[in-house]
Amino acid sequence: MLSISNLHVSVGEKPILKGLTLDVPAGEVHAIMGPNGAGKSTLGYALSGRPGYEATEGAVEWAGEDLLALDPAERAAKGVFLSFQYPIEIPGVPALTFVRTALNAQKRARGEEEVAAPAFLKLVREASKALKMDFDMLKRPLNVGFSGGEKKRMEILQMALLEPSLLILDETDSGLDIDALRIVSEGVNALRRPDRAMLVITHYQRLLDYIKPDRVHVLAGGRIVASGGPELAHQLEAEGYDKYLLEPA
Amino acid sequence: MSAAFAIDLTDAETFPSRRTEAWKYSDLKRWLRAAPEPSGTAAVGPPGPFYDLGGEAIVFANGRAVGVTDFIASGEQTLRLRYISDAVGTGHTAGARVSARAGAKLLLLETHEGAGSAYVAHNTLELDVAAGAEVTRVVLVEEPEDAISIAEAHVKVEAGGVYRQTIVTTGAKLQRIETRITHYAQGAQVQADGLYLLNGSRHTDLTSVVRHVEHDGATSQLIKGVARDTARGVFQGKIVVERGADGTDARMGHHALIASERAEIDAKPELIIYADDVQCAHGNTVGTLDESALFYMQQRGIPADEARALLTQAFLIEVIDRIEHEGAREVAREWLTARL
C-alpha cells in the first residue's frame, strides 16, 4: 500500500504540493486528475525522488519503506517506476543495454542474481512482441529518433521487464494517437496484479476509458480536493475543473 | 627531412612558458624550472595493451631503446610503439622514426606506459606516410598523476596518402600531446581524433597543427573530452590552408563535458585560410552531463555513479567508434571502459 500523508513539496522556493494525503492499496488503480499547474507531475517526481523536488513536510510510505529517505535508484529497486510524460532520449546508449543495466542494477540492489544476456534477450523478445515493437529498434540509442508512440511503448516495455510494484504513469496519453493509445493501455492493463499499485496521472478522462481506475482523485492547488469512483472522471469531463479552481488553495 | 623538436630536456632554456602563445595553457616552465636528472634504466615489464594484436615492436624504457628505433613499413604491417617510463623524479627522452612506403598499410599502435612518480618524459615520433600509403595510429596514454610529459609527433602525408590518428589519454600533472601534420593533399586524407578523460588535478593538452600545402586534401578532426574534479583539459587545433591548397575540405570539432564546478576546459580552434575555394568548418561545445538523463537512468534503478559513467562513456565512445581497425578499436574501447 502506498500511503502519502500531509506531503508538502517545494520546487526551488515555490511550494507546489501543500498537504497532499492519499492512500493507494496494492492491487488498485487510482487516477489523479487535475487542471494544469495543480502539481500532478510534481507528485510523480516527488514520489520518485527527482533532485530539486524537495519534500519539506509529511511522509510517504511504500510497502513499509520510508520512500523519502531513499535515493531515486534505491526507490526504483523497491519497485517504484515513473513513466515519464516525455521519455528522455539518451544518445550513445542502446535501448537493450540501458534496460539490461537497469534490471541488473535493481537485482543487485535487492541481492538477487543478475540476468545473463541470453535469458534477457528472450525476455525482451517476448515483451516487445506483445507490444508490437520492432526488436531491431531496441538496438538503437534509447528513444533517439523514436516517435511519441514508440517512446511510450518503450516505457511500457521497461515496466514489463523491470516488474515494478508501484507504477506512476505521468500523462501517458499525451502525444499518442488512438491506435497507440490502445496498444499502450493494453500493455498497462496486462500489468495489473493484486500485488501492484498504479497511480495514473492525467489531465483528460480519455485515458481512463482504456485504463479503468478503481478510484479517482482531483488534485488542485497542491492538495486532493475530491475523491470518488470512476464516475467522478466523467463528471470532470462534463463540467471541467472550474469549481475546484474557485476554491482558495 | 627530419623535423626539429625544440624542447631539450637537458636544457631548461628550451622549456616554453605561458609567454609563448602556443604554450599559454600548458606552462611547462612553471612546473619544470630546471633540467631533470637523467633517468636510470627501467625494466620493460608487462607486454602492453596492444600485445594481442601482434606485429613488430619498437620499445623505449626510460628513453633507452630496447632494440631498433626506426621502422620502415611495406605491405601490410602492424607496429607497436611503446614508450615506457618507470622513474622517480628524473627525466628521459625517446625518439622514434617510422615510415610507410608507397602502397603500404601500417597499423601503428602506440602506448605511453608510465609507472613511478614525478618523472619527466619527452617522447617524439617522426612519421612519413608515402604516396598511396595508409597509416592508422592509435595512441593510449596512461601516466602517474604527478608526471610531466611531452609527446610530439611530426607527420608528413604525401599526395594520395591516408593518415588517421586517435589519441586516448587520462592526462598527467602536465601533459602535452602535440601533432604536427604536413598534408601534401592531392587526394590525401587525414583524420586527427582524440579523447581525454581527466580525474583529480590532471592536465592534458591536445594540440595539433594540420598544414594543407597542396590542393584537394581532406582533414577531419573530432576531439572529445571530460574533465572532472579540478582537472583541466586543453584543446588547441589549428588547420592552415596554404595558398594554392584549393579544394581543401577541413572539418574540426571539439566537444567537452565539465563534470565538476572546479574543472576547466580551454579550447582554441583556429582555421587559417590563404586559399580560395575551400570548405572549412569548426564546432566547439562545452557542457555538462544531462541532468534529466541522469535522473531518468536513476529512476530505472541505475545508481548515480554508474549512470554518470554510462553517460560519459556514451559521450566519448563516438571517437572510439571512428577507429577504422576493428581489433585496435576494441582494445581502445576496453581500455577506456576500464577507466571510467
Chain CA centroid to CA A48, Å: 9
- Inter-residue contact A235 to A210 (CB < 8 Å): no
Is B261 inside any structural domain?
yes
Task: Decide if B2 touches A, using CB distance below 8 A.
Answer: no
CATH number at residue A100: 3.40.50.300
Q: Is the pLDDT of residue A238 over 60?
A: yes
B304 touches chain A (CB under 8 A): yes
How many folded domains does chain B comprise? 1
Which residues of chain B neighbour A93 with C-beta distances below 8 Å?
310-311, 314
Amino acid sitting at position A45: Y
Q: Is residue A249 part of a domain?
A: no
Q: Tell me the pLDDT band of A246, cut-offs 50, 70 and 90.
A: low
Residue B101 to residue B125: CA distance in whole angstroms: 17
pLDDT of B3 reads 46
- Which chain B residues in 311-340 lie under 8 Å from chain A, judged by CB atoms? 311, 313-315, 317-318
Identify the residue among A11, A47, A50 best suited for mutation to test binding to B, counting B beta carbons within 10 A and taking the highest: A50
Query: Smallest CA–CA separation between B189 and chain A, in Å?
Result: 27
Per-residue confidence (pLDDT) for residue A247, from 0 to 100: 54
B218 domain-assigned: yes
Mutation site for B-interface testing, chosen from A11, A48, A90 by largest number of B Cβ within 10 Å:
A90
Q: Which domain holds residue B218?
A: 12-290
- Exposure string for B286-312, b = 16+ CB within 10 A, e = fewer: beeebeebbbbbbbbbbbeebbbebbb
Beta carbons of B296 and A162 less than 8 Å apart? no
Helix axes A178-190, A148-162, angle to 10 degrees: 0
B18 vs B41: CA distance, rounded Å: 32
Give the C-alpha separation, B319 to B167, whole Å.
9
Q: What is the pLDDT along chain B (340 residues), one digit of tens a residue?
A: 334 788 999 999 999 999 999 999 999 999 999 999 999 999 998 999 999 999 999 999 999 999 999 999 999 999 999 999 999 999 999 999 999 999 999 999 999 999 999 999 999 999 999 999 999 999 999 999 999 999 999 999 999 999 999 999 999 999 999 999 999 989 899 999 999 999 999 999 999 999 999 999 999 999 999 999 999 999 999 999 999 999 999 999 999 999 999 999 999 999 999 998 999 999 999 999 999 999 999 999 999 999 999 999 999 999 999 999 999 999 999 999 999 9
Q: Please list, in sequence order, all residues whose beta carbon lies within 8 angstroms of the beta carbon of residue A232, skipping any fewer than 6 positions away.
A: A33, A216, A218, A226
Residue range A162-170: mean pLDDT, rounded:
96
Domain count, chain A: 1
Q: CB A72 to CB B298 under 8 A?
A: yes
Contact A226, A232 (CB under 8 A): yes
CB B59 within 8 A of CB B44: yes
State the residue range of the domain holding A9. 2-244
Mean pLDDT (chain A, rounded): 93
Mean pLDDT score, A23-35: 95
Q: What is the pTM of this model?
A: 0.88
Q: How large is the ipTM?
A: 0.95
The answer to whether position B266 is within a domain reads yes
Enter the C-alpha cell of residue A8: 508538502
* CB proximity B295 to A under 8 Å: yes
Cβ atoms of residues B65 and B94 within 8 Å: yes
Whether the pLDDT of residue A249 is over 90: the answer is no
Alpha carbon distance A87, A65 (integer Å)? 27
Q: What does the DSSP assignment read for B141-207? A: EE--TT-EEEEEEEEEE-TT-EEEEEEEE--BSEEEEEEEEEE--TT-EEEEEEEEEE-TT-EEEEE
Per-residue pLDDT reduced to its tens digit, A53-91: 999 999 999 989 999 999 999 999 999 999 999 999 999
Contact A167, A197 (CB under 8 A): yes
B295, part of any domain: no
